[in-house]
Structure 1
Amino acid sequence: MIKPGFESGYASVNGLQLYYEIHGSGQIPLVLLHGGGSTIDTTFGQILPLLANHRKIIAVELQAHGHSGDRKNALTFEQDADDVAALLAHLKIKKADFLGFSNGGSTVLQMGIRHDGIVHKLIAVSAIYKRNGMIPGFFESMQNASLENMPQPLQDAYLKVARDPKQLQVMHDKDRDRMINFNDWPESDLQSIQAPTLIINASQDVVLPEHALEISCKIPNAELMILPGVHGAFLGEICTAIKGSKVPELLIEVLDEWLGK
């Protein structure tokens, strides 16, 4: 059920129609950035209502994903960060917290690197900054990735909200190519992040826990949390959620406390 005060819309930013939703209320909004191939609902549908009980939430669907439009350029974490910064300028928001999962987690790190002036706190979930941060064989598997083996719940969610269903293939290919062409970031990029940062990873993630530890050690004011399970399960992500699990509720308690410090 959509609560009173909900609004949604499109912002014209950097040649792109970017879709966003606003839930709840509060002084410093928390911006949610979904994972690759995903939508707001598939990544955050389970925890968004809980988060919105205590603060304003701005949930974004990034280039080529969900309701949002596309443009000719390839997907990059840097460009996604620039688009989010432009969206906040459009909404006249001077400061925000940011929470991103997977590809959205790496974009959150780029918010701290490229747009520190608008960042209050960062929460990067299952993020990477080097190729060796992924489990062995991940990048080799990307070479053979096809729409046929994209998780069906993600395909269905895209088709439910997309302006042009034929763009599903385009979105898949752009996400695949982003990972194939991913290059390591310099350590100095992470060291430049000044905002308080919480790094979160799963114990059996596609991102290695030791990589999450490395990221937390490179960022000057960072903390680390490792939660049990696989990629996205502790968020209640649509493909990995465990029915009846209390871990997403536990996560909300931790986030509320950490953001409130």
Structure 2
Amino acid sequence: MTSQTTTENQTIQDSTSGYATVNGLKMYYEIHGQGKPLILIHGGGSTIQTNFEKIIPLLSKNRKVIAVELQAHGRTSDRNADLTFEQDADDIVALLKHLNIDKADFFGFSNGGTTTIQIAIRHPEIVDKMILGSALAKRNGVPDWFWGFMAQAKLENMPAQLKDGYKKVAADTNGLQVMHDRDANRMVNFKDIPDEQIKAITVPTLIIIGDKDVITPEHALELHRQIANSEFAIIPGGHGQYIGEITTITPDFKESDLVVPMLEKFLDKKPTK
């Protein structure tokens, strides 16, 4: 389906959405704007809109933003298999091949950041630059309570905004429990990404977290030290507040609080010779 969307400054951009058969999934994607491709990869329990609704209109003014929904999330189907970050990475690359995109920038948030790391490890040829928003690479990158919480995770404790966001778009809302359980099991079974794999990443990388994030500053700083060609920023706020993630929106929300100018500055930076 194709539609026209109008941004606040009345510039008109092309927006399309669709499904692709990818590795046994019916995978949903949206394309906004024109220009160099930027792939947005959502976090656990999320949809395109719950993570990125606030920043897509801004980022798509100057580039082609391609947002995806991963296995069991939002409008994308489930397969009879546990979630893994490696499989998510392969699914996204297969989708991009379907869309005839051989190189792109990537922005992954939370679990999507971990998936983005796997794309850079497994498919470095497709990555130009990557932004890791609150990404986890090691179990010690979050406080100890996180793992106990995940081991006891229940659907009723999932943020209402994320449950509502899923129900708003999913063809079958009975999949909510499946999505929740697959996400929780993936985190319970999460294993450290080996140092040598992280150190082998050479693409220009921007690492960002909030100062009240679930990801620890020490972890983000260690990622910065291990990825040689990287920049690092700590932004005031909680997990995803810097992009207007739906659970962080407060009545005093302002577009000017978002980190879009920082993202664009990084993405537009020419490589130094």
TM-score by shorter chain over 0.5? yes
Among 2, 6, 11, the residue aligned to 2:5 = 2
The aligned counterpart of 1:150 is 158
Tell me if the contact between 2:243 and 2:258 (Cα under 8 Å) persists in the aligned partners.
Answer: no
The aligned counterpart of 1:96 is 104
Does structure 1 residue 21 correspond to structure 2 residue 16?
no
**Which whole-Å CA distance do the structure 2 matches of 1:216 and 1:247 have between them?**
27
Match of 1:165, SS?
coil
Amino acid at match of 1:117: E
Q: Structure 1: 5+ residue runs without aligned partners?
A: none
TM-score by length of 1: 0.97
The aligned counterpart of 1:114 is 122
RMSD: 1.3
- The alpha-carbon deviation at position 244 of structure 1 amounts to 3.4
Tell me if the contact between 2:19 and 2:26 (Cα under 8 Å) persists in the aligned partners.
Answer: yes
Amino acid at match of 1:75: L
**Which whole-Å CA distance do the structure 2 matches of 1:8 and 1:256 have between them?**
24
Distance 1:122 1:70, change over 3 A: same
- The alpha-carbon deviation at position 226 of structure 1 amounts to 0.5
Does structure 1 residue 132 correspond to structure 2 residue 140?
yes
Tell me if the contact between 1:203 and 1:228 (Cα under 8 Å) persists in the aligned partners.
Answer: yes
**Which whole-Å CA distance do the structure 2 matches of 1:234 and 1:157 have between them?**
19
**Which whole-Å CA distance do the structure 1 matches of 2:65 and 2:194 have between them?**
31
Does structure 1 residue 179 correspond to structure 2 residue 187?
yes
The aligned counterpart of 1:45 is 53
Tell me if the contact between 2:33 and 2:65 (Cα under 8 Å) persists in the aligned partners.
Answer: yes
**Which whole-Å CA distance do the structure 2 matches of 1:182 and 1:250 have between them?**
30
Tell me if the contact between 1:203 and 1:227 (Cα under 8 Å) persists in the aligned partners.
Answer: yes
**Which whole-Å CA distance do the structure 1 matches of 2:183 and 2:53 have between them?**
21
**Which whole-Å CA distance do the structure 1 matches of 2:122 and 2:37 have between them?**
19
Distance 1:135 1:247, change over 3 A: farther
Match of 2:237, SS?
strand
Identical positions, percent = 55
Match of 2:58, SS?
helix
The aligned counterpart of 2:10 is none
TM-score by length of 2: 0.92
Match of 1:239, SS?
helix
Could you give the per-residue CA deviations for residues 108-130 of structure 1, whole angstroms, max 9, x where no partner exists? Answer: 11111111001000001000111
Q: Structure 2: 5+ residue runs without aligned partners?
A: 7-12
Does structure 1 residue 191 correspond to structure 2 residue 199?
yes
**Which whole-Å CA distance do the structure 2 matches of 1:128 and 1:45 have between them?**
23
Tell me if the contact between 1:234 and 1:247 (Cα under 8 Å) persists in the aligned partners.
Answer: no
Tell me if the contact between 2:108 and 2:114 (Cα under 8 Å) persists in the aligned partners.
Answer: yes
Amino acid at match of 2:30: E
**Which whole-Å CA distance do the structure 2 matches of 1:60 and 1:141 have between them?**
27
Tell me if the contact between 1:47 and 1:236 (Cα under 8 Å) persists in the aligned partners.
Answer: yes
- The alpha-carbon deviation at position 241 of structure 1 amounts to 2.1
Could you list the runs of 4 or more consecutive aligned residues of structure 1 that deviate by over 4 angstroms after TM superposition? 246-250
Match of 1:58, SS?
strand
The aligned counterpart of 2:222 is 214
Match of 1:63, SS?
coil
Amino acid at match of 1:90: H
The aligned counterpart of 1:87 is 95
